[in-house]
Amino acid sequence: MKRKGTILVILIYLCCYYSHGQQRYDYTWTIGYSHVKLLSSGYMQGGILMDFNQGSEPTFSLQSFLTSIPQAAICNTQGMLVAYTDGCNIYNRDHQIMSGGASLNPGSAFLDFCNNSLGYALWQGDVFLPSPAHPNQYYLFHLRKDNKLWNPVNILYSVVDATGANGKGKVLEKNKVVLSDSIWLSDYITATRHANGRDWWIVAPQRFKTGYHVCLLTSQGVEYKGLQNIGYTTEQVYGAQIAFSPDGSKFFKHWPEGVQILDFDRCSGQFSNPYYLYLPINGSGGVAVSPSGQYLYLSKPSLVYQYDLWANDLSGSRQTIATYDGFESPFPATFFQMQLAPNGKIYMNCTNGNNVLHVINHPDLPGLACDLIPHGVTLPAMTDYIFINIPHYRLGALAGSPCDSTTSAVHHPTLAPDGIDFYPNPASDEVVFEKLTEQTASAARVRLFSLTGAFLYEQDFPAGAMTTRLRVRHLPAGTYFWEIRWEDGRRTAGRLQKG
């Protein structure tokens, strides 16, 4: 337990380190729906801005939306809303259709749903990403359904310029086809940052098959990288969810009978090591992972499970952390889709339109200590049963990533917190740790941990020495974590790749 506690501290430290100086693309969520008005039932209706810019807890404000199902949104680097979508149109910060943003995903599904302001009929069909080339431009990747069968058949993208139309935003490109896939696309799309810290991987699973379509967004544009067949066939279900872990190393596809788990290489874009986690009950639900990457959360309408991804026996680590308590507001407040927020908490909506959210206050603590509070957040209006789709924007570059063209093959310094340089990374024989400032010239001790949190070995870093070396030749290839403990109690941590 002590060793796991240590590695947890390291990972949380790393999470904070990589997020430092990063952007606030997810600091305003668009939830709720339609125009603001008081319903005959006594409940309020209206769009809601869930704002994380003011502190550790979100604030809420009512706004009239033109849509009933806002599915994805993105902010600028300061956390101010730029655009959001319901799969029918792209809306600006004034909650009007953006210039050039009308008529996404043309076809019969658009005519049947969008003309009635219902929102496009997808469960997780849209995701916004910042452009790697232009600081004020954003890509929207979206799925288009078949004209006859309403099955997704295309991955499309559109491009938003936030500075267009006098700062209200303008759509520069719309409905550009990335790929077509007959009737085999599912209702889900998500993304994770490339190991170089600039580009983005976009993933869309197939339905009734083992395939995963992979696309890459770079400064040169969008490139389809092919179909990967791996793992188990999972059936299509309405009301599921897919997600990457915060560090992008694992992918989760939550289907009714279980969860497909895949390792993901952020450098190559390749999936590997399929593992299928069977669940004791079937049904729709959501998936999210704690900030450190240790705990997996899976919901079913009547309960929420926690799994320890670092445990030797993943299936055996399951704990039930909440069961539905019968609360209604105004409909049964059961459990559904989840989203990790900028404040480190996980928020969860309901399978019905209600004016509450569930919240996991401490997702990096085991069991009931994670503090899941059912209907713990009261909203100023009703919200929809489809939750906002947001990737982990604060994920940075993988230190010393060998796939980054700016990485030197000899020595690419990786500056860690508190003035420590360590190289090479990846390493094959040994790693050099170097003190760079007078403030780091005091005595310390270097400790090395495996990815699962197991302590491997340590060595002194004397006050009079400005460098020390750790031999890693005997270690298998993979990811490791190091920690430097200074004699005054300070800690410095980082991640090391053994080639």
Same domain as 432, residue 310:
no
Is 391 contained in some domain? no
Close Cβ partners of 198 (under 8 Å, ≥ 6 residues apart): 132, 218, 219, 397
pLDDT tens digits for 209-228? 899 999 999 999 999 999 99
SS3 call for 62 = strand
Same domain as 458, residue 406:
yes
Question: If you count DSSP H runs as helices and E runs as strands, how many of each does the chain have, helices first?
Answer: 3, 34
Other C-beta atoms closer than 10 Å to the C-beta of 42 total 7
Same domain as 236, residue 139:
yes
Same domain as 18, residue 37:
no
Is 164 contained in some domain? yes
pLDDT tens digits for 18-32? 443 457 999 999 999
Residues 485 and 238: their CA atoms lie apart, in Å, by: 49
Please enumerate, as own/partner, the contacts of 47-53 that have beta carbons within 8 Å and a separation of 24 or more. Answer: 47/95, 47/381, 48/379, 48/380, 48/381, 48/383, 49/81, 51/27, 51/79, 52/24, 52/26, 52/27, 52/28, 52/79, 52/341, 52/342, 52/343, 53/24, 53/27, 53/28, 53/79
Same domain as 78, residue 15:
no
Is 457 contained in some domain? yes
Is 388 contained in some domain? no
Is 421 contained in some domain? yes
CATH code of the domain covering residue 482: 2.60.40.3080
Of the pLDDT bands very low, low, confident and very high (cuts 50, 70, 90), residue 432 is: confident
Contact 145, 153 (CB under 8 A): yes
Q: What is the pTM of this model?
A: 0.79
Is pLDDT above 60 for 159? yes
Total of domains in the chain: 2
CA distances from 175 to 52, 82, 236, 291 (A): 31, 19, 25, 34
Same domain as 457, residue 347:
no
Same domain as 328, residue 421:
no
Is 450 contained in some domain? yes
Beta-bridge partner residues of 496:
480
Of the pLDDT bands very low, low, confident and very high (cuts 50, 70, 90), residue 410 is: very low
CATH code of the domain covering residue 136: 2.130.10.10
Range of the domain at 407: 1-22+398-499
Same domain as 203, residue 78:
yes
Is 426 contained in some domain? yes
Name the domain boundary from 357, 383, 409: 383
Of the pLDDT bands very low, low, confident and very high (cuts 50, 70, 90), residue 149 is: low
What is the C-alpha radius of gyration for the chain, rounded to an integer number of angstroms?
23
Strand 430-435 to strand 420-423: parallel, antiparallel, or no bridges (unpaired)?
antiparallel
pLDDT tens digits for 30-66? 999 999 999 999 999 999 999 999 988 999 999 999 9
Name the domain boundary from 383, 413, 439: 383
Poorest-pLDDT segment among 6-10, 52-56, 156-160, 399-403: 6-10
Is 263 contained in some domain? yes
Beta-bridge partner residues of 295:
308
Buried/exposed code over 375-387 (b: 16+ C-beta within 10 A; e: otherwise): bbbebebbbbbbb
Contact 483, 10 (CB under 8 A): yes
